[in-house]
Structure 1
Amino acid sequence: MIGLVIVSHSKMLAEGVKELASQMGQNKVKIEAAGGLDDDDNPIGTDPMKIEQAIRDAYSEDGVLVLMDIGSAIMSAELALDFLEDDMRDKVILCEAPLVEGAIAAAAQAMSGSNIKDVIAEAKNALHAKNVLLQPEEEEVLPDEQKEIPLEGKNIQITVPNKQGLHARPAAKLIEIVNRFDATALVSVNGKKPVSASSISQVGTLGAKKGEVLDFVLFGKDADQLEKALIDFRDANFGDDDKEIIETSIKIEKTETSDGAIHGIAASEGIAVGKSLWFRKELPILNKESVEDANHEIFLLHQSIDRVIQELGAIQKKITSELTKEKAEIFDFHKLLLQDQDLLKEVEDTVRNEKCNVAYVWNGQIKKLETEYLAMDSVYLQERAADVVEVGNKVLLELLGVAKKELILTHPCIIVTDELGPAETMNLDLNLVQGIVTRTGGETSHSAILSRSLGIPAIVGLGDEIDQIKDGEEIAINGGAGDIWTANHPDVIADLRKCKELEEAKRLKTLTKAKEPAVTKDGKTYQILANVSGPKEAIISYDNGAEGVGLYRTEFLFMNRDEAPSEEEQYQAYKAVCENMKGYPVTIRTLDVGGDKPIPYLDIPAENNPFLGLRGIRYCLQNTELFKTQLRAICRVSAEYDLRVMYPMVGVIEEVLSANELLREVQADLNKEGIPFSNKMKVGVMIEVPSTIFFIPQLALELDFLSIGTNDLTQYLLALDRDNNSVAKYHSPFHPAVLTAIQEILIRSKEAGIEVSMCGELAGNPKATGLLIGLGLEKFSMNSPAIPKTKEIIRGMNVVDNQTGFQVDSSIRTLEELKKSIGEG
């Protein structure tokens, strides 16, 4: 099944799109979010490293589709591809489809097992909704149900096959299927008035249950193809895996006991003990007012919606960077709702026809939609009403110019509130929020889902019992049981506090194990390092057990800006990474740009074959001032920390000689200026260009270490463009030629007496760990999440068994044979 990656300048936006697309894809489609920067002061931007990891996490042999928002997101995505292994890169396609609609459509299409071409087509066709919205006023476009339906329309009936019925995810999938074709569809159930099958606000409230019949009327050029797609959708069980679906047609009742506890619905496991903080939200009273300029009112609506979408994107960015890419998926529904052409058209028509204020009309439509969701028989759909209200109120406050009451925490506390939306949940300070208690909600509400993802104990659906909790009193909650204990029960609170302390001790033990060295059963120790792109990732890597940084990708510091970072800015960034690694060694790769890593302000010339042109160290040697500025910053940090410098894309020995000469010039200048640096700073190169394999002895005379970059090495060794899907099936770091090259590098490096490591993606592939150890690799550098697992694999093996049990077998003729042999061994 096709995987999806959502790339946005805003972390929250990316996570929100992921949430929406995941629901529309029935959580069957691998969807990852890569949004924002790990910089609290400048969170808006795109991070190629995050995109790279997202692609890896979403990877499927069927392919991965990457959707991006604007500007540098495209460049960052292209840059991320450079970090992938060739065989993986060839199956990744960057798509120009609109981010939210495209993601929803793609997820819906991918869910049915469509090939990547069909998924791309679905994503691109999602532009239809925006095209309708952007029609000039004089070219008014009526909703589908108001158009004249041709007599030759095709009528088909689809019986709802899945347990949960037409809930949010299949509804989104349906919309995406319809928008994929040059056809229009109306749909109804139980004899109700037909609605547009391309509108989430209409389809989402049909509430069709399992066994009910959806009546479709199809017309247009592709009506026959759409009919087949709908039948396939039905045969695919609307994309649901009923074995994994929790039946939500029956409400979860709160446990009634007489133990003195307040009982709610257990939403997120965990124990919390702390002071309660009541958070009460109030909206201004709205009255209907006459306006003279209806078009201006509508302009204000779209302007407000744009701002909210940007805010959601920022929240998604935060979730992606601080938690995981899955965390932002819940905001897809929000975004889809804000871009729903039928909802917006109804608001616009009312404002124009009645000449009244858009805030009043918008509020009315949101309340109407909330009522429709609350009337659904499915608890899951009822809980989407909270999402409708939250996102609707965000737009309303923007329209009114009223500052939203922010939930700002100043001390550790347990939040008590009527309801907490997913965006509010994601904006919580995780260092201060101890737990969440709400009057409304259920275990499948988005805020509950996020609480579980964030690891925040939460109890929801207390109803009026929540009023027993006083603001500021000490309370204890057991999120797994749904129990809340007030200050009237000090003994119970004391017992729960002890349980909490035991939980924390267990968590610390897990982290301690991750930080233990990777030692095999027969006593061989391997060094496990991290690949990072900034200070925050260094913190995460350290916590995950990294014993240093084997690759600091400095190009990310140069991206998403209008000019190159200053020497001081670079110095502070490099220093922060070293500080966060607590004294472990850090290897900084000098600026690696060009090829698929363009940075506009650097004026990299257009080339017929950029991968063989001015990139990596070659660019730096032609732009010496930029290069020397970076080297100065690196050298300054080396005075205090165990720092190493590494040149990328070296193809000839002259490049090393020239780079080292510039390094000596920089050091001489620093010496004259009285600025300290380390004369013992180690220097190395990336082994990415096959030619370097043949002059390792010469490199050993000029350098201190080598690092194998399997991503580009595979591409250049096999002469396969990793961005070209037509040759993807031949692109693999497990190719016998690549493995033989790696073995040769390790042998020659050992003979030359030079240290060698691997920082390419292969280093973090669990299927390759034993293989690489068998070839003689002793130092691995990988993305942070792979570190604990790699260490665990190493601890469970014997080196002797690997060394005697694996060689690059010359009898293996094809890549498939090699994969089979690895799978069996």
Structure 2
Amino acid sequence: MSETGYVPRPRSSPRVLLKRLREIMAEPAEPQARLEKLVRAIAANMVADVCSIYVRRTSGALELFATQGLKPEAVHATRMAPGEGLVGWVADRRQPLSVTNAPAHPSFSYRAETGEDPLQAFLGVPVVRSGQVLGVLVVQNRTQRRYTDDEIEAAQIVATVLAEIVPTGDLLDEADTKEAQALLEAPESGRGAAVSAGIAIGTVALLEPDSRTHKVFAESVAAEKTRLEDAVAGLQKSVDEMIATDAKVAGVSREVLEVYRLFAYDRGWVRRIEEKVLSGLTAETAVEQVQAENRERMRAAPDPYLRERLHDLEDLSRRLIRALQGLEGPPELPEGAILMAETLGPAELLELSTDRLAGLVLADGGGTSHAAIVARSLGLPFVSGLPGMVESARPGDTVIVDGDTGEVHLRPPSDALRSYADKKAMRERRLEAYAALRDEPAVTKDGALIDLQMNAGLLLDMPHLKETGASGIGLFRTELPFLIGRTLPTAAEQEHLYREVLRAAGTKPVVFRTADIGSDKRATYMTQPVEANPAMGWRGLRVSLDREGLFRTQLRAMIAAAGGRELRVLLPLVTTVEEVEAARGVIEKELSRRKRGRKPVPSSVIVGVMIEIPSAAWSARSIAAASDFVSIGGNDLAQFFFAADRESALVSSRYDPLCPAFIGFVGRTISEAKAAGRPVGYCGEQASDPLMALVLMGLGLRSLSVTASSVAPLKAMIRSVDLGALSGWLNETLAAPSGELRREVEAYAEAAGVALPSWA
């Protein structure tokens, strides 16, 4: 023992240990005898005085199933209650615990029947499969010593292998195996972020290839290594071909494709997989283990650019596993599929058989993500922020997604299924009632006409214009083609899209927002400096003015598509009057170019500005005077007003835009813009909140642009409102704010007989 009391130990060898475990699993033996051989092998490899395996029962208790070093009579007699002791600590937190002096730990629980009195050092690792803790692997030593990172990693690898084989029946007897399987099949419920409204009842489909279709241990390490090498070579070839077909793309696009290729050729990534294969695992299991390690890094990464790059590794891992399994392309979906995944890009979503897709549940993805925009366009209920639920899901499981409340029920009991089937039917009846209002005007009881428009971003959104009875497209997000594809869209491709959008709109107006690129809105082919605060950095109109070639190409396409009809252009994230003037100058250049070519030009070009940052809101009068109309972008304006990243689960829910401070600020902005004699509207997800829409109308707004699914419910509400009475009440309420504005607005609406949307 050293002066510090710690004793250095020989380094454990995961490769040797896995080889021994594979041999034990291959030997004919009764489950209990096999377990005892396993703990002896693990203890010997890790030079531990004790190795124990605890198995979790359906009650939540952790039962000692096998041990080397503790009293044999404690096996199946010692049970730790949920959360009890260091073993319970590991199971509850689903993370390893390494301590040098176990009895001194506040969670330590003494069990005399185990004979653990002389033990000091403790290392516990959870045995987790499909998000469920199936047990805990424990090693202990008499001396006070630190377990090295290599030893902890070796224990985690063993725990991963145990997780794969516990439910198979090779390690436990029939009754215990059924109990372990019951844990994996137990109902789960959770509440995430409600991203896209609606209710879906269907079966789970995963982007991840099903891990149950492959073995854990390799029959031949050499053959498995060859399989991996062939699959990696195939993956690299497919990336090379992608770059070759994009050879005509501008240099900036090729640079990012080269970054993607670097990941595919990254020796560090491939070597980590190879090491696990050489230890005796199948190639698929090795990729899954490395993928899980990368996923933990991704979830912990504070930098959005790094998170995006780790998403690339996630995609490459999925592709590699499919290649190993001989699969090509995206997975085939069953009818009524609920797709559950870690992350999902809009391109991946559109590549799937969306006619079979009923809903989405993601571990990571906010309400303003591009997958969310596409999901709303498709009318798919969508809930995000449930990583544990995604991890627990298995293909074919029944799942309920409530996009109104954010609730998700995995493997629900029959009474929950009946309840949600009734709720879904009631919702559909309410939608039928709203549909009857499609051709009715959005006019208040006292005769005020509200211009109720819808947001769009894809051509597949356009049928909703007729279905909902919206008066026009108040916001068409043009950046989606830039972000969904793997290359920069050409002028011809853009012109075709804009012409088709205008054709689909008929006589109704369309407001095209120029590409709002930057911050979280980056395609794989785009490069830009890594910024500490990208949401406040190089994005929006700033990018367009700095990359005038990209801006002019887009404007050229819009002008050509409009032909002889009116063209409405909206500039995103305006910060100064000078930016508006510069953008209008570029528009004039493109109009002059078109005229010189003797080609038809729009009958008029109306240029609007988006007020999305507090400084622009504070200067709303002068900025409005330099434009033709104003659109308040509530999502970003609230984000900057509250200094709360709307994509961060830690802070986005800490504020309510329907509070006196923010509403007062919005009211001032509306007044200043109107003082310049310009029409003012409000776009963004906030306006889809019926209580927020009521307040905006009370502040004097007469134009709202909302999601397609919100148009009909809001029209019904508008037709039940006495706007004069609402405005008078709101002025009095804001003059003496109580801080409970949402509750007060809801109480007013109920007392005044306002038809608030409800799916209950």
Higher relative contact order (CA 8 A, sep 6+): 1
- Select the structure of larger CA radius of gyration: 2
Taking structure 2 as the reference length, what is the TM-score of the superposition? 0.49
